Chain A
């Protein structure tokens, strides 16, 4: 009979592989949620109900936080050279090795948790070497999950407060990752005005994505603040990347007298409450 811990460990690793190898936010974020939700169940024996409740609620809160930010900003994961299949194969290999290894004897938390932990740590190495801060945040989250799995497997059950701290750590990590998805111009408050993140909590406004031309109506210098970031513009090799096209569109000068180009139809038409951002050079240090 297959144990619950083994199933949960496999689901955790699958979710993490999806989060690391996915090339669409519709794959990355659900994968992360599945990994965070299944991870507490991969330990045998199961944690106390209070600890489980803390972990699950923390996972849901973290997922909700990052999902809201990712939806508002239209974030897309950067190019991952391994891809989903490569990540899944790597995770499977690490999982098998984790089942075979015996660094600690006896294993108080079971070998499934150790295998899942090792697979998660191996999976996290790729994003941690990335230059995309969002990928880095996801890698740090997966690494945290993996380290906690290894600790549970090697040390055994933990008090409920420790699980609560793990949940808070995941919330903080994914909250920071969500903030990293927001373009710089929206996060940096100009002197004398509130930040792009609305002072009323984390109420976000969509980014302006109107390419400017010679007679564009947008203020001077504001086009760079709305330029797609590296995390949004895919690396060379990706085909039909709208973000890459948009980046090229920004760099190409417009002929004189020609009106501004239409908006890049990636994030939809900007509404009437679109916030215009300022160039960082104009924001600058206040001194």
Chain B
């Protein structure tokens, strides 16, 4: 498929998401656009190419895989937000716009266009954060976000200048070192690396899951991929400044890997655990940038795919695990696995997909990044980070295996209570759609689904409290209002949002596990790359500036010649061409006759 289809689908979806379309049509625009985008990304292969505005856009297996996984992850997380009543169409539009920009960045053969597109993706993410009100409520809210945006845009523009390698009058090692530092700083700020992690931590408390994933996973991973491709120009550059910049990036990566994991271990809120885990694993992006090693590029690409899918799944889990008990602290969530064992399996799958085991593609990729990105002697860091990751995943799992706490018991003990929690306390998009319908004349015939749910509440209670609160009327039951399959599906969506979220979490975890084990073509795709890799590697090395050749002064012959003078046309009387006075290295002297 034409590589322009994916950006076009995403851009159209972004515009449509912002249109004032009410009711269910307005709700499903975002997921439908994500689904279409995922399909178009899957259908874009390496043989597809198109020229647009003087730039060729080439499809590639890796770009297709990355964009397909990203779209699928966005689709799943948007479903979670829909189910939990946190859907925000501006966030959906910004996510689609960012995906469109990343689609252009990953297919463009012009490095400047790729970098500009990555900058646009970062700015749309910031716009989503601002529009969703995820910033602090202080008067200077948005200052940090605006600074981060300015830094990322400036770094991308500067990198675009550096990759073009204009004919500097001096050596360009300093320029490339400065651009490397700028790109790394932009990536570190956007991914929330230590010490820029505070804003990301606040995001966990305020933002919806989609917004958190957009700002902390999808956009940093996209920026990381573009930065990785761009860094090919720094592979053969020898400069003290570049070595210093690489050392700084290594230090930030090391701090992020260790302190982020410690932060995930210390925090109690599942959302914060997910965010700090994401921050910690984003340290591998910086390691990939610092490695400047062609061997580690394939490992970095595979890690990026796993990062996108697994961290999205982790945020889905975090959104699901505290939803039913209505608590956001692991301390009061003890026994959550007893209430919903599925979510426990989801967390195990995410941990396995992220950490792997010796011999597993993900584990080997992490080890390779540590080995090539850090100086010799720091190889133990990979093991330490893996141990810390196992510790915080294990802590969450252990909490789930403990005896159930009060909130978990109350959430899992009464089906009707859960229904009221899910359907009443959290206004769903269906209810919002219902309220919008109430405002419209002629649409009152379609009653909101919540009203149906309330009508079926006795049925739900009759279904019995199974402990996980998933009692729904069975097909063919003797109840008066036998809803039928479609009706029951609607009821599941309207009332049992936790089951829907758990289902989405299961799908996310399975996707993460498959990618983490190198399946779904991830390993093969990672050996390829995006067109930016080749374009940056082929960037012309500036030669010495063309200096004008000094024109030697015409040398007088040592002796005056008495021969015939050449004619003004340069022809000798004998018909030959007289030697140019500027090119004659040793003018022939004619002896006096």
Interface status of A184 (Cβ within 8 A of chain B): yes
Give the docked Cα–Cα distance between A128 and B150 (Å): 8
CB interface residues, B 541-586, toward A, < 8 Å: 545
Query: Smallest Cβ distance from A244 to chain B, in angstroms?
Result: 13
What is the chain B residue whose CB lies nearest that of A196? Answer: B133
Complex Cα–Cα for A201 and B545 (A): 53
Give chain B interface residues in 420-440, CB to chain A under 8 Å.
426-427, 432
Contact residues of A: prevailing secondary structure: helix
**Proximity string of chain A (113-149) to chain B, C-beta cutoff 8 Å, 1 when within and 0 when not:** 0000000000000001001110011011001100110
Q: Are B161 and A140 in contact (CB-based, < 8 A)?
A: no
Residues of chain B contacted by A106 (CB below 8 angstroms): 167
Residues B161 and A155 in contact, CB atoms below 8 Å apart: yes
Does residue A57 face the partner (Cβ distance < 8 Å to B)?
Answer: no
- Decide yes or no whether B141 CB sits under 8 A from chain A: yes
Task: Verify A195–B160 contact, CB threshold 8 A.
Answer: no
Contacts of B145 in A (CB 8 A): 133
A280: B residues at CB distance < 8 A: 137
**In whole Å, how far is B36's beta carbon from the nearest beta carbon of chain A?**
21
Contact of B116 among A136, A165, A192 (CB under 8 A): A165
For the complex, is A260 an interface residue (Cβ under 8 Å from B)?
A: no
> Is the CB of A105 closer than 8 A to any CB of chain B?
yes
Q: Quick one: given A140-B149, A154-B166, A168-B120, are A161 and B161 in contact (CB under 8 Å)?
A: no
Quick check: which of B86-94, B238-246, B284-292, B378-386 contacts chain A, the rest being far away? B86-94
- Chain B nearest CB, measured from A123 CB (Å): 13
Instruction: Select which of B18, B143, B149 is within 8 A of A201 by beta carbon.
Output: B18
From A128, A199, A285, contact of B147 by CB (8 A): A128
Q: How far is the CB of B370 from chain A (nearest CB, A)?
A: 34
Contacts of B127 in A (CB 8 A): 172, 175-176, 179
Question: 1/0 per residue A158-201: CB within 8 Å of B?
Answer: 11111111101100110111011000110111011111010111
* Cβ contacts B304-334/A at 8 Å (1 or 0 each): 0000000000000000001000111000000
Closest to B104 in A: A165
The number of chain A residues touching the other chain, given as a range, is 35 or more
Stretch at the interface among B39-47, B49-57, B274-282: B49-57
Are A148 and B157 in touch, CB under 8 angstroms?
Answer: yes
Cβ of A241 within 8 Å of any chain B Cβ, yes or no, is no
- The A73-124 residues at the B interface (CB cut-off 8 A) are 102-106, 108
A205 CB–B CB distance under 8 Å: no
CB distance from B38 to the nearest CB of A (A): 23
Quick check: is B110 within 8 A (CB to CB) of the other chain?
yes
Q: Are A180 and B130 in contact (CB under 8 A)?
A: yes
* Min CB gap A72→B, angstroms: 15
How long is the Cα–Cα vector from A154 to B85 in the complex, in angstroms? 51
Known contacts A104-B167, A180-B146, A200-B20; is-contact A154 B90 (Cβ 8 Å): no
**How far is it, in angstroms, between the C-alpha of A192 and the C-alpha of B432 when the chains are bound?**
8
> Are B130 and A164 in touch, CB under 8 angstroms?
no
Contact B545 A105 (CB under 8 A): yes
Interchain CB contact (< 8 A) of B166 among A104, A193, A286: A104
Q: Output the nearest chain A residue to B154 by Cβ-Cβ distance.
A: A143
A197-219 vs B, Cβ < 8 Å mask (1 yes, 0 no): 10111000000000000000000
Answer whether A188 and B133 are a contact pair too, CB < 8 Å, given A104-B166, A147-B157, A154-B161.
yes
CB atoms of B119 and A133 under 8 A apart: no
Considering the complex, which residues of chain B in the window 107-155 have a beta carbon less than 8 Å from any beta carbon of chain A? 108, 110, 112-113, 116-117, 119-120, 123-124, 126-127, 130-133, 135, 137, 139-143, 145-147, 149-150, 153-154
- Contacts of A197 on B, CB cut-off 8 Å? 90, 131
Min C-beta distance of B164 to chain A, whole Å: 4
Task: Answer whether residue B462 sits at the interface, using C-beta atoms and an 8 A cutoff.
Answer: no
Residues of B within 8 Å of A172, CB to CB, are: 120, 123-124, 127
**Alpha-carbon distance between A285 and B208 when the two chains are bound, in angstroms:** 10
Report whether B161 and A151 are in contact in the complex, using a CB–CB cutoff of 8 Å. yes
The docked-state distance in angstroms from the alpha carbon of A103 to that of B542 is 13
Binary CB contact string for chain B from 215 to 250 against chain A (1 if under 8 A, 0 otherwise): 000000000000000000000000000000000000
CB distance from B176 to the nearest CB of A (A): 14
| Alpha-carbon separation in the docked complex, A185 to B127 (Å) | 16
B108, B116, B170, most chain A CB atoms within 10 A: B116
- Chain B residues within 8 Å of A173, by CB: 123, 149, 153
User: How many angstroms from the CA of A194 to the CA of B124 in the assembled complex?
Assistant: 20
Whole-angstrom CA separation of A45 from B552 in the bound complex: 34
Q: Is there contact, CB below 8 Å, between B54 and A159?
A: yes
Q: Are the CB atoms of A231 and B53 closer together than 8 Å?
A: no
Residue pair A155, B166 in contact (C-beta under 8 Å): yes
Let me know if B206 is at the binding interface, CB within 8 A: yes
Contact of B328 among A132, A188, A287 (CB under 8 A): A287
Interface string of A215-231 (1 = CB under 8 A from B): 00000000000000111
Q: How far is the CB of A242 from chain B (nearest CB, A)?
A: 17
With A160-B53, A180-B130, A199-B20 as given contacts, are A136 and B157 in contact (CB-CB < 8 Å)?
Answer: no
**Chain A, 218-259, CB within 8 A of any chain B CB:** 229-231, 233
Residues of A within 8 A of B206 (CB): 285
Are B120's CB and A155's CB within 8 A? no
Query: Nearest-CB distance from B286 to chain A (Å)?
Result: 23
State how many angstroms separate the Cβ of B559 from the closest Cβ of chain A.
Answer: 43
| Residues in B whose Cβ lies below 8 Å from that of A59 | none
Q: How far is the CB of B244 from chain A (nearest CB, A)?
A: 21
Chain B residues, CB < 8 A from A38: none
Q: Shortest Cβ distance from B310 into chain A, in angstroms? A: 23
Residue of A nearest to B545 (CB): A105
Q: How far is the CA of A165 from the CA of B124 in the complex (A)?
A: 13
CB pairs A–B below 8 angstroms (17 shown): A133-B141, A133-B145, A140-B149, A140-B154, A147-B154, A155-B112, A159-B113, A161-B55, A162-B110, A165-B120, A166-B116, A180-B130, A184-B135, A187-B130, A191-B427, A231-B139, A286-B86
Q: Please name the 9 residue pairs, one residue from A and one from B, whose CB atoms are nearest each other, closest first.
A: A188-B133, A161-B53, A159-B54, A200-B20, A140-B150, A147-B157, A192-B427, A230-B139, A136-B146
Q: A108-B166, A172-B124, A189-B133 are in contact. List 15 more A-B contacts (CB 8 A).
A: A147-B154, A154-B166, A161-B54, A162-B53, A165-B116, A168-B120, A173-B123, A176-B130, A176-B146, A180-B130, A180-B146, A195-B88, A199-B20, A200-B20, A229-B139
A interface list, Cβ under 8 A from B = 50, 102-106, 108, 128, 131-133, 136-137, 139-140, 143-144, 147-148, 150-151, 154-155, 158-166, 168-169, 172-173, 175-177, 179-180, 184-185, 187-189, 191-195, 197, 199-201, 229-231, 233, 280, 285-287
